[in-house]
Amino acid sequence: MTGSAVTTVVATRDRASALRRSLARHTGPVIVVDNASGDATPEVAREAGARLIRAPRNLGAAGRNLGAAEADTPYVAFADDDSWWEPGALDHAAAVLDGHPRTALLAARVLVGEEQRLEPVSAEMSRSPLGWPDGLPGRAILGFLACSAVVRRDAFLDVGGFSDVLHFGGEEELLALDLAAAGWGMAYVPELVVHHHPAATGRDRGARRRREVRNRLLTAWLRRPLSALAREAVASARAPDGRAGLGDAVRALPSVARARRPVPRSVELARARLDGY
């Protein structure tokens, strides 16, 4: 297949300058989901020739679901407003997915900044203890970075996409568990490359860590055994900004209390291997 088999979805909010730089690097169809920005984001998207979806409020990562639903291609790639796929990568991804019909998600190798440093998460995926099962185009994974993922659109939408409860920050694990529970495979394919150029300043790392702790705990409640939740809670309490994240998770728990749906044992065993259990 050609690049027209893949639509790139970019969810963004109030980052028009970064979006302008990155949109110039994209090839193929692009959908920009504007999470209720107050800046020039809509104008930047239109000027670049992207399709624009304006969310009524800030949906966070779940804004990507709107873009995927709007796409008219069998595959959807995600990008942040400060990342882009290397030329030719999406053509290759489409060919890989065509040849591996039980694979729902491919994770690319991420190179960071002008120095093209290997993203630590990519290094971790390259050493995944889950091995290389038959029928997968690379090492099996149960997590990924959203900006480096290409998904089979129907599979993504069938499991509900990204959670609207988690917003941003570690939202990928819940989706990975849901895809695995539905019987889909996911693989790290380092031949696919994404370039990520995050801003050096202006990001609150403490707030980010706090959100990640919150979302890791909520994901454990929603899909994992209570023993795994307890381990996560203990580890979180010891981590930087962990107690604040733990408090956030406790406050959010009533909104997801009835949505608990533990994954099949085979999926939990694979997830526990990533934790070293």
Degrees to nearest 5, angle at CA 150 with 45 and 145: 90
Comparing 96-105, 210-219, 231-240, which segment has the lowest mean pLDDT?
231-240
Question: Which residue would you say has higher pLDDT here, 185 or 237?
Answer: 185
* Residue 3 in this model has a pLDDT that exceeds 50: no
* H or E segment to which residue 187 belongs: strand 185-196
Q: For the chain, what is the mean pLDDT?
A: 95
**pLDDT per residue as tens digits for the range 102-146:** 999 999 999 999 999 999 999 999 999 999 999 999 999 999 999
Distance of alpha carbon 103 from alpha carbon 193, whole angstroms: 18
**pLDDT per residue as tens digits for the range 64-116:** 999 999 999 999 999 999 999 999 999 999 999 999 999 999 999 999 999 99
Confidence of residue 1 (pLDDT cuts 50, 70, 90): very low
**pLDDT per residue as tens digits for the range 11-68:** 999 999 999 999 999 999 999 999 999 999 999 999 999 999 999 999 999 999 999 9
Contacts of 192 (CB under 8 A, 6+ apart): 85, 86, 89, 92, 93, 96, 106, 107, 108, 109, 148, 150
Confidence of residue 156 (pLDDT cuts 50, 70, 90): very high
* Residue 201 in this model has a pLDDT that exceeds 80: no
Distance of alpha carbon 214 from alpha carbon 170, whole angstroms: 9
* Residue 2 in this model has a pLDDT that exceeds 50: no
Contact 195, 117 (CB under 8 A): no
What pLDDT is attached to residue 239? 86
